[in-house]
Structure formats: C-alpha cells, structure tokens
A and B are shown apart, each in its own frame.
Chain A
Amino acid sequence: MDIILASILTLGSMGIIFGIILAIASQKLAVKADPKIDEIVKILPGLNCGGCGHPSCQAYAEAIMKGEAISLCKPGGKKTLDHLTEITGETAQSSEPMVATRYCNGGCNEAKEKYEYTGVKTCKVAALLNSGYKQCTYSCLGFGDCAKVCPTDAITMNDDMLPIIDKEKCIGCEKCVIECPKNILLMAPKKKRVHVRCTSLNPGKTVVKVCSVGCIACNKCERECPFDAIHVKDNIAIIDYDKCTNCQKCVKVCPRKIITVDQVQESQQQVHT
C-alpha cells in the first residue's frame, strides 16, 4: 500500500509542478497578435497555397493589415472577398474563377520519342536535355512536376503520362503553371469547357511526323465557328474565351480530334480537363 501512495504522490506532484510551469510558460511566451489579424486568418481558406504571393494565410492577413490588396485570394473566392471587404472597409473587383488547363495531349501513345530517356525523372531536368525526349519540342514530358507541386492534389498523372486536372479541386494558385517547363499548363476560365490541346508552333508537315494529336493549322475550326472565337495564327489554333460559348462545333469538325471538351463525371461531380 505504501508504495502506491508513494508513487502517486511523487508522480502526481511532478505533474502539478510541471503542469503549472507549462501553463505559465505557454502564456508568457505566447505570441501576441492583433485580434483583427486573427479574424482575417479565420476567414481565409487556410490552404497556405501562396497564390496571393505571400508564404502563408497568416502572412497575407498581416500584409492586408499593412495595406495589401484584398482581392488576391483566389481560392477564397467571392465569399472571402465579401468578408474581407466588410472587415477592412475596402472595395475590390471580383474576378472570374480561373483553373489550370492542359494544352497538350501528346502522351506516350501519341507523341514519338527522340531517344530513350533514363535520367532524373522530373520534367524540369528532362527538359534540359535537347528540349526533352519527345520529338515534338512543345510536348508534355509526363513526369508530373505539376502534380507534385499542386497543394490540393487536383492534378493526377494518367497511364499515358499526361496530367489530369480536377477542376473542382483546382484553387487557381497557378503553381503548376509556373512549374511546367514546357508551358503546356495555362489558366483558363473555369466555365469554359472547350480547349485546343496543343501549343506547337511547328508547321503541319512537321507535326504529323512527330505526334498523332498535334495541331496542323488546317483552319477548319476557324471556318466553322459561328462566334469568331477561334483563330489559327503561327500554325496553332487559339480560342478566345471571351467569345467562346461552348457550342462544340469546332470539336466536331477538327480532323485530328485535338479540340476536346472537359468531361463531367456525374457520379462524382468532378470536371476533368
């Protein structure tokens, strides 16, 4: 019996003493913050994505208190903007939601290789060697640097080694756009679902030799579009998203099936580009 009492007293009193020490320490060493900053941090999405240009939501909140624009948080969307307007009393323009979009369909099965690449498996390094291991110098290299850097896991690499972007998960931080060494990821309005999956400026003769889904600048799409939304310039078709209405006439007429529509999977309510 004695030993039970002794153990409890010893360990218990240590618990009391150290508990008090820790309680006092966490108070004294607590970081004092402007309550307004804490309010702002609570409103911000808390993703720490860096899309606003600041390293964390905390940092952006502090910057806002110092006069930074309140419209920089894209993931926060309108809701965040409205709240921030309330708190800071500033006004700002709301912007149309933009998501990352892939402008290349030249995966393993479509775009031919120049050589067998056995180097470091990142796009950045692969791109250093002769513009990459694909015969088309504009092609996606498929090692998923974009997927690795996405803070919300919106990008997954498919079996063909192309990035698939989940539009619902994309928060528009543009990290993947910056990361891609071949510049095949660009921002496009989320509402627009028709995209030309190619960025190659090579003439049609060259393109057919190196890739089965490259744009040959045949102009059929430009002739077909009723809204003057798509034009071929410098051997590549480009969609003007301000004019595009998602009518998909160009999609039907493209001989190489390069213009595609984002698929909507009803079962999961995800939109993939």
Chain B
Amino acid sequence: MVSHWQEFWKGITKLNPVFVAALGLCPVLATTTSMDNAIGMGVAATFVLVCSSIFVSLLRKMIPDNVRIPVFIVIIATFVTIAQLFMKAYSPALDKSLGIFVPLIVVNCIILGRAESFFSKNNIVRSMLDALGAGLGFTLAILLISGIRELLGTGELIIFGIKILAIPITPAVIFILAPGALLTMGLLLALFNALGVKTAKKTSCSTIASGVKE
C-alpha cells in the first residue's frame, strides 16, 4: 500500500499532470501568458479537484456503471460553477482575464481522469491527498511556465500589480504568443526528462565500475 505522503507527493513529481502525464494541456498553454492568470487557474483547478474527489469518493459505491460519466461531470461542473461564482464576486478581473478557460475546467483531463481512475476506486482520505497532489503539481507547473513566458515575453514579472522582476534585455514577444507556449513547455519537459534519467540507477553495464572490464 502506498503511504499517504506518497499519495500526495506523486502528484507533484512522478505523476505530475503537466510534465509527466501531459494532461490538461489546453489551459496550460492558454493561461500561462501571465503569472496572475496561472495562479488563478491553479487555485481554481485545485479547488475543483479536491471538492470533486470528496464527493466522487463518497458516492463511489452507489453509482451504477451506466451513469458513471454523467454523475462525475455533474459533480465536477457544480464545483467549477461554484468556483466561478466566487471568482466573479471577489476577483472579477481575474474571471474576465481567464475568460472561457474557467468553464473549461469542467472538461480538464486531469480532473475527469483522476475521478475515473482514482477517486472512484479509493477512500476519501486517499482521494483528497491524490487530488491535492495533482492540483499542486499542476499549479507549480503552470507557475513555472508562466513565469518564464511573462519574464521573457514582456521583460517584467508582475504579480497582483507588484513588479517582482525585470530583465534589462528586449523581450521576445513570441513567448507571449502560442508558439512560445509550446516552446517553453517542450523545453521544460525535455529538461525534466533529462534530470529524471540522471537519477535512474543504472543504464548499462558500462556504467558499473567493476573490475571486469579490460
């Protein structure tokens, strides 16, 4: 049995939704144009993930197989709507900025995927931990991507109106546009894969320092 800590931690490292499972890429590419957007999207997605995990896990033994998908979607859609109502009430600028990507959280692969493969088969505690881990993993990933895109694309990093960082070179606007999203994500993916290989134990006999080689 996987430990509770592992259930949470795997969502950030081994099973990171963006860099390992490559799920939910549509909002990743679209909402990482600025760090403010990324923070908003990350928080909203995590909220929906955790709340859905509770309800799906709670009801998992009662849902007949043929209405499984509609029930999941209704639950997820409810929490997305709740999230959006709160957003409209307490930070309308963020809601306008994220636009259609808030409702699109309903069909975010990460949420429906985890619901189908994990929340519907595990108890509430494990499901919540898994959801938290996946949500945090997703948020950290898009924070990283948006930080790079905003810094290199506009020359400055502005979070909630406060200028955090500025670089003295002319910014490359392409990072703000679609190709920049794909470039940044792709290069980060390659970086993490390379790091992953280095930590793997052995790759061939030749890497083993044994006295057998001539």
The judgment on whether A and B are partners is yes
B205 touches A161 (CB 8 A): yes
Contact A159 B202 (CB under 8 A): yes
Q: Which of A11, A19, A109, A116 contacts B210 (CB 8 A)?
A: A109
CB distance from B166 to the nearest CB of A (A): 44
> Once the chains are docked, how many angstroms separate the CA of A134 from the CA of B204?
11
A22-30, A66-74, A232-240, A265-273 - the one binding chain B: A22-30
Give the interface size class of chain B: 10 to 19
Q: In the complex the two chains form, is A113's CB within 8 Å of B67's CB?
A: no
Chain B residues within an 8 Å CB radius of A252: none
CB distance from B203 to the nearest CB of A (A): 7
Contact check: which of B66, B203, B206, B212 meets A109 at CB < 8 Å?
B212
User: Contacts of A111 on B, CB cut-off 8 Å?
Assistant: 212
Q: Please tell me if A18 contacts chain B, counting CB pairs below 8 Å.
A: yes
Interface SS of chain A: loop
B213 sits at the interface (CB 8 A): yes
Contact between A113 and B206, CB atoms less than 8 A apart? yes
B70 within 8 A of A: yes
* Interface residues of A, count at CB 8 A: 25
Interface residues of A in 196-247 (CB under 8 A from B): 212
Interface check A41, CB cutoff 8 A: no
Given contacts A116-B206, A117-B206, contact A108 B66 (CB under 8 A): no
CB contact between A23 and one of B66, B203, B204 (< 8 Å): that residue: B66
* Chain A residues near B206 (CB-CB < 8 A): 113, 116-117
A133 to B208, CA, bound (A): 14
Are the CB atoms of B66 and A118 closer together than 8 Å?
A: no
Contact B67 A22 (CB under 8 A): yes
Flag A161-187 by CB within 8 Å of B: 1 or 0 each.
100000000000000000000000000
Bound Cα distance from A116 to B203, whole angstroms? 11
A112 at the interface (CB under 8 A from B): yes
- Interface flags for A39-56 (1: CB within 8 Å of B; 0: not) read 000000000000000000
1/0 per residue, CB under 8 A from A, across B149-165: the answer is: 00000000000000000
Q: What residues of B have a CB within 8 angstroms of the CB of A159 in the complex?
A: 201-202
| Among B66, B212, B213, contact of A110 (Cβ-Cβ < 8 Å) | B212
A168–B32 Cα gap in the complex (Å)?
A: 51
A142 to B66, CA, bound (A): 45
Q: What's the nearest-Cβ distance from chain A to residue B198, in Å?
A: 15
**B contact residues around A212 at 8 Å (CB):** 212
A19, B67: Cβ atoms under 8 Å?
A: yes
Given A116-B206, A121-B204, A161-B205, decide whether A108 and B212 contact each other with a Cβ distance below 8 A: yes
- Contact assessment for A22 and B204 in the assembled complex, using a CB-CB cutoff below 8 Å: no
- Residue from A19, A25, A113 in contact with B205 in the complex, judged by beta carbons closer than 8 Å: A113
Query: Which listed residue, B74, B201, B213, touches A112 by the CB 8 Å rule?
Result: B213
* A161 and B212 within 8 A (CB): no
Residue from A18, A112, A113, A161 with most neighbouring chain B CB atoms (10 Å): A113
In whole angstroms, what is the CA distance A134 to B212 when docked?
Answer: 11
Contact A118:B213 (CB < 8 A) given known A22-B67, A25-B66: no
- Compute how far the CA of A245 lies from the CA of B203 in the bound complex, rounded to whole angstroms: 40
| Interface residues in B179-214 (C-beta closer than 8 Å to A) | 201-206, 208, 210, 212-214
Closest A residue, CB atoms, query B66: A26
User: What's the minimum C-beta distance from B59 to chain A, rounded to whole angstroms?
Assistant: 14
A25 to B70, CA, bound (A): 14
- Chain A residues with CB under 8 A of B67: 18-19, 22
A1-26 residues with Cβ-Cβ distance < 8 A to B are: 11, 15, 18-19, 22-23, 25-26
* A135 to B: closest C-beta gap in Å: 9
Excluding A117-B204, A133-B205, A212-B212, 4 further A-B contacts by CB distance (< 8 Å) are A113-B205, A113-B206, A117-B205, A133-B204
Listed A/B pairs (24) with beta-carbon separation below 8 Å: A15-B74, A18-B70, A22-B66, A22-B70, A23-B66, A26-B65, A26-B66, A107-B205, A108-B208, A108-B210, A108-B212, A109-B208, A109-B210, A113-B205, A113-B212, A116-B204, A116-B206, A117-B205, A118-B204, A133-B205, A142-B205, A159-B201, A161-B205, A212-B212
Q: Which residues of B contact A (CB under 8 A)?
A: 65-67, 70, 74, 201-206, 208, 210, 212-214
